[in-house]
Chain A
Amino acid sequence: MSLQMSSSAVQATSRPLVELEDFSLWRQNRSVLDGLSFTLPKGQNLALVGESGAGKSTIGLALMGLLQSQGVKMAGRARFDGQDLVSLNARAWNGLRGRRLGMIFQDAGAALDPCFTIGHHLAFPLRRLLGLSSRQATERALALLESVGINDAKARLKAYPHELSGGMQQRVMIGIALACEPDLLIADEPTSALDVTIQAQIVRLIQDRVRMQGASCIFVLHDLALASQACERIVVLYAGQVMEAGLAEVVLGRSRHPYTQALKSCVIELDTAALEPPPGAAPSLDRMPSGCRFAPRCPRASERCTAEKPPLQGTEAHQIACWHPG
């Protein structure tokens, strides 16, 4: 009996926080995500990288349950802490969002309602979700704002979003998203609307806060250097397919997929942190190649690549979907 209990306890702690298995998504009968698989262990961070249109943000929105109402169809498995997300109903989603799932958006200025003060934004999670009294909520709100590096928090509570700078707005967003101490934070390009000088600061802030609360974070990023800095794991996406995935230092240090290699070479050639696409353009959603979606732009592509989709193979530490890994 006691043996059984301890083994189930071990199972619970080793159960991954997020688990995608052959997860696909269609929007108006066009395949947006095709057979994604990756896992995120508890307490770790994961970065989704790739060009725009690769489906990175779509994964984030799907994990928040924010696409279900938009005529989106899903297949395969997506689990959050053991709970199946694909079949979850609206009420159950509402129970997860805010409490166990938090999200930070690309443009914090647009993601804060212009008609409401910062204090009003914070009041919802603190008063409605956590059920704090108005005095407790104010205290917590002040502590939260201070924890995300906002000075003069008392005055900021009464400020409207447009009265803050872009960096401040993003700090506020982080504070709101973490108010109920969620298990998973999804940061959808949290720095792309910000000045280069504060991008690293914001990513570090998210990293610190997430670690302090014992949570995990999925970063959607353009920037390979930032991704490897902030995350234990990296998933490289192209046109809705996983190209290469695994531990950050392995994927970037010993990348074997031609797409990842092309991404890395862009960074080195230009000597910037920006992620430039390899020659050619990503395929449009209504004209997806049937095999490997990267094949039309790949220097190593053979007939097999255009005919047959390569499976994602390898170990937890390093997985590649390619017929001709380098």
Chain B
Amino acid sequence: MLLFVGRKLAQTIFILLMVSIVSFTLLKLAPGDPVQMALGSEYSQEAYASLTHEMGLDQSLVVQYGHWLWGFITGDWGRSYVGRTPIFQYAFVEALPVTLTLAASALFLAILIGVPLGVLSAARQDTILDAGTAALSLTGTAFPSFYLGILLIWIFGVHFGLFPTMGFVAPWQDFLDGVYHMTLPALTLSTYFMAMIVRLVRANLIEALQQPYVAAARARGESERRVIWLHGMRNVLMPLVTVLGLQLGALLQGAVLTETVFSLPGVGQMITNAVLNREYLVVQAGVMMTGCLFIFVNLLVDLAYPWLDPRLKPR
């Protein structure tokens, strides 16, 4: 077991290094000279040279990479060219929690509604209920989330005035107000995943319910509810968690659009603004954060496998 965890950790660290190299290269390949950008339009040759030295840009690429990586790990992510504010504060302390809250709320909603709907359509296979759920979930997948966001803003925000249409309140400071502000964005972002979960649960549960161990559970006298939720869903957990882990990238992408529509100061909005302003350091910080998040979550999924399916338990 320890060996298994150790191997997974080593793998993860290797992948993280690859991501960091790509991320670093992005900065190097970006057009424009950071020294020039920082100095503005008028500067002396000495000032240019001293700043180049100060920023470490006169050293070899490998050394620069090492410096940059160490800085990234220790929370020194540089300063934005425009505002000269520390990027770590801006990206990690301020923007990331917003995106995490949005993504977690959307995922929570998607699971809360998607799993029971999937179970219901699997248990009532080929009924009107099943067909209705299928149609609804197909619509959910086909609809672009920004359009749904605008629609929700128009209906619930403008027309009925039930929910705020923009802004972020941290739920850990004011829980109710936080949830209130997060409702429409989370609903917008969750539709795609809800639809995906419904179809995934339905297909996998139907397959699981045809397994001999389900017939055997019924033969033992277990109730239909117990058969579905215990033996059925326990065996659906593994494919469900796997797909959710892999779809985290799509979730973060969706968060970019949702944050833009609802004016949430999250990583998505941060990256969008940074790209528009050519703030490569900020873009890089965003790429590193989302990359690390994705890899970290999939590490958790990998580590959960032996628990999700005891047959995968290392000896």
| Chain A residues proximal to chain B, CB less than 8 Å | 61, 64, 66, 90, 94-99, 101-103, 105-107, 110-116, 121, 124-125, 129, 160, 162, 173, 176-177, 180
Indicate whether A97 sits within 8 Å of B219 (C-beta atoms), given known contacts A113-B234, A115-B235: yes
> Do the beta carbons of B219 and A112 come within 8 Å of each other?
no
> Which residues of chain B from 112 to 161 have any CB-CB distance to chain A below 8 Å in the complex?
none
* Chain B residues whose CB sits within 8 angstroms of the CB of A98 once the complex forms: 219-222
Inter-chain contacts of B211 with A (CB < 8 A) = 110
Q: Identify the closest chain B residue to A110 (Cβ).
A: B212
Chain B 194-227, CB-CB to A under 8 Å as 1, else 0, gives 0000000000000000011101111111111000
A-B contact pairs, 11 of them (CB 8 A): A64-B219, A97-B219, A107-B212, A113-B213, A114-B235, A114-B310, A115-B310, A121-B220, A125-B220, A160-B310, A177-B219
A99 surroundings in chain B (CB, below 8 A):
221
User: With an 8 A cutoff between CB atoms, is B94 at the interface?
Assistant: no
Say whether B213 contacts A112, CB under 8 Å: yes
Extra A-B contacts (19), CB below 8 Å, given A97-B221, A176-B220: A61-B215, A66-B219, A97-B218, A97-B219, A98-B222, A103-B216, A105-B215, A105-B216, A106-B212, A107-B212, A111-B212, A111-B213, A112-B213, A113-B216, A113-B231, A115-B235, A115-B310, A173-B216, A177-B219
Closest to B221 in A: A98
Contacting pair B221 A105 (CB below 8 A) = no
The secondary structure that dominates the B interface is: helix
Complex contact A111–B215 (CB within 8 A): yes
CA distance A107 to B313 in the complex (A): 22
Kindly list the 6 A-B residue pairs having the minimum CB-CB distance in the complex, ordered from nearest. A98-B221, A111-B216, A103-B219, A97-B221, A110-B212, A113-B213
- C-alpha spacing A13/B290, complex, angstroms: 74
Q: A102: which of B219, B224, B310 is its contact (CB, 8 Å)?
A: B219
For window 212-269 of B, CB contacts with A under 8 Å fall at: 212-213, 215-224, 231, 234-235
By the criterion CB–CB under 8 Å, are A112 and B216 in contact?
A: yes
Which residues of A have CB within 8 Å of B310? 114-115, 160, 162
**When chains A and B are docked, how far (Å) is the Cα of A98 from the Cα of B223?**
11
B235 nearest in chain A by CB position: A115
Residue of A nearest to B313 (CB): A160
A165 → chain B closest CB, angstroms: 15
Contacting residues, chain B, for A94 (C-beta < 8 A): 221, 223
Q: Contacts A105-B212, A162-B311; is A66 near B222 (CB within 8 Å)? A: no
Interface centre among A102, A105, A110, A111 (most CB of B within 10 A): A111
B306 to chain A, nearest CB (A): 11
Least CB separation from B233: chain A residue: A115
Please determine whether B217 and A113 come into contact, CB atoms closer than 8 angstroms. Answer: yes
Q: What residue of chain B has the Cβ atom nearest to residue A115's Cβ?
A: B234
User: In the complex, what distance in Å separates the CA atom of A273 from the CA atom of B312?
Assistant: 38
How far does the alpha carbon of A17 sit from the alpha carbon of B234 in the complex, in Å? 37
